[in-house]
Structure 1
């Protein structure tokens, strides 16, 4: 989509702009000269100076931060403008063009499974009945994809990965921008999911693909049934997520993190190496490595246990 087409769609006069083919929407860090980025929070302004983006959606008050060589597109609400434009860069999960699936020696695709175009299945992997594999998905060696698993387009799966029945990998994240009159405008997620070697994902889990970039589950991680992993999350090596854990978008963990059942996080939070979070723990801040936490509001585990004991004593006295 050309920049002048974008400007016309947004109702902006193209005079003074240089036209070019916008290949994708991107982050400040990853953007190339053919990409478009946006700034919706002041804390990201300092990243503009080092970005290679060709153009940026930005508010009037921040236009002075646009570096020379980058074109600033002034809009009232950059996040909303980005949401509208994301639909033009969305990719299909199933296309009519592309190569037939490439199935390596010893791999089995059962009757009733569906494979899209440009799919690759590694040696000795099994795709069971009812599974749906989108275009461009790559599955490594010795994997097991159980019945009724859905893997959206361009997902990359390593070796010895097990994904149990009913799980969905690579669906859109839960992202919307909001108009002044309260309408919710969908943000199309154009990133991917990458799952490294020796990961096991339980039944009826959901792993959302990234807005741009990737959602990544690192090697050796084990995920129980009914877990939700939001867009752009990064799950560290050998992490354990117990049933009904929910991770909001852009949560990241270090290695060997353990989260008990129904624990959850807010967005853009990092949990350090070897952290343990008790069941139903509500994580609303970054957590340092080698610590244990519990409760809501979250406290260090020893403090939470003392608090709970004292609370019970107070209730007994009142009774």
Structure 2
């Protein structure tokens, strides 16, 4: 669809210097000449000079920062317009496909199943899938279109894997987990209405990863959500869109990671700890249980509490707090 047609369909009448067939929405660093990007925060303005985007959505006050090769679309709220345009690029996650409702396997011509792989009854397999050797898919598993699964994987009952997910070798995904679902992203109108941002990216899970029961790992807005090799994830963990979890990291039960959180290798996050969005946690860093991460953390450090403190400081603070509270409480004697 032409850029001008898209803009008119959402009520924008813009005088374009050039019009073109739009391929996709993309971040500035990855956008190509037929892609649209947007800037909602001033810190990303510096990325404009090297961007190959065909057009960019941004506020009127930043128009002078746009190079001549990029079509400028000035709007009051770039994030909202981006959300409205994202509806043109929504991808179906589940299409008509072959479902195995008994012990007999009837594969479509575009379904590639490896040697010694066992598919138990009541497994749904989408089109264009590829599953490696020596895998086991247990009852109630749903594998959507164009999913790739490596060798020696176990997918436990009632796991749902959305379209275009890529899974490496020796991966275990326990019962009830959902891989590749929508990220939680909305823009907001002046009336307070919530406009859905369509997520067109994917999830990539590397080798030797184990994912516990009832996890949710959201696909990216664009690009990828990636779980790197050797990561071990406990039950009931939420990983938001565009997160990257570094090699050999450990996420304990009820950890929650907001969108675009990234970690280095061997990070440990205790139970019920979590992050805000766009946070980076350095290599070999540890977060104690219920720690609330609201800032980037350097490597080889330990943290805890809310507000977050270095762990030694938090423990000292907690001891002092308990003593203070104890002194203030009325005596139970008499």
Matched residue SS, 1:57? strand
Distance, in Å, in 2 between the alignment partners of 1:241 and 1:16 is 48
Cα shift at 1:15: 4.1
Report the structure number with the largest CA radius of gyration: 2
Distance, in Å, in 2 between the alignment partners of 1:120 and 1:159 is 12
Cα shift at 1:94: 2.3
Residue 314, structure 1, aligned to residue 324, structure 2? yes
1:67-98, CA deviations, whole angstroms, 9 ceiling, x for partnerless residues?
11110112221100110111110111123489
Aligned residue among 163, 176, 180 for 2:173: 163
Distance, in Å, in 2 between the alignment partners of 1:31 and 1:108 is 41
Structure-2 residue corresponding to 1:8:
8
Residue 234, structure 1, aligned to residue 234, structure 2? no
Contact 1:90–1:188 (Cα < 8 Å) also in 2: yes
Query: How high is the TM-score relative to the length of structure 1?
Result: 0.97
Segments of 4+ moved more than 6 angstroms:
none
Distance, in Å, in 1 between the alignment partners of 2:325 and 2:58 is 54
Structure-1 residue corresponding to 2:57:
57
Structure 1 range deviating more: 309-318 or 136-145: 309-318
Distance, in Å, in 1 between the alignment partners of 2:252 and 2:291 is 12
Query: How high is the TM-score relative to the length of structure 2?
Result: 0.93
Paired residues, what number? 319
Distance, in Å, in 2 between the alignment partners of 1:117 and 1:18 is 38
Contact 2:240–2:259 (Cα < 8 Å) also in 1: yes
Matched residue SS, 1:312? helix
Aligned residue among 119, 137, 140 for 1:127: 137
Structure-2 residue corresponding to 1:47:
47
Structure 1 range deviating more: 244-253 or 10-19: 10-19
Residue 278, structure 1, aligned to residue 288, structure 2? yes
Cα shift at 1:101: 1.4
Matched residue SS, 1:37? strand
Structure 1 range deviating more: 55-64 or 94-103: 94-103
- In structure 2, runs of 5+ residues without a counterpart are 98-107, 330-334
Cα shift at 1:112: 0.3
Paired residues for 1:176-191 under 5 Å: 176-191=186-201
Contact 1:94–1:117 (Cα < 8 Å) also in 2: no
Residue 254, structure 1, aligned to residue 264, structure 2? yes
Instruction: Give the superposed CA RMSD.
Output: 1.3
Distance, in Å, in 2 between the alignment partners of 1:61 and 1:14 is 17
Paired residues for 1:98-117 under 5 Å: 100-117=110-127
Contact 2:14–2:73 (Cα < 8 Å) also in 1: no
Distance, in Å, in 1 between the alignment partners of 2:75 and 2:307 is 38
Cα shift at 1:7: 2.3
Distance, in Å, in 1 between the alignment partners of 2:148 and 2:243 is 20
Cα shift at 1:99: 5.4
1:2-59, CA deviations, whole angstroms, 9 ceiling, x for partnerless residues?
2121121233345443221111100111111111101111111111110000111111
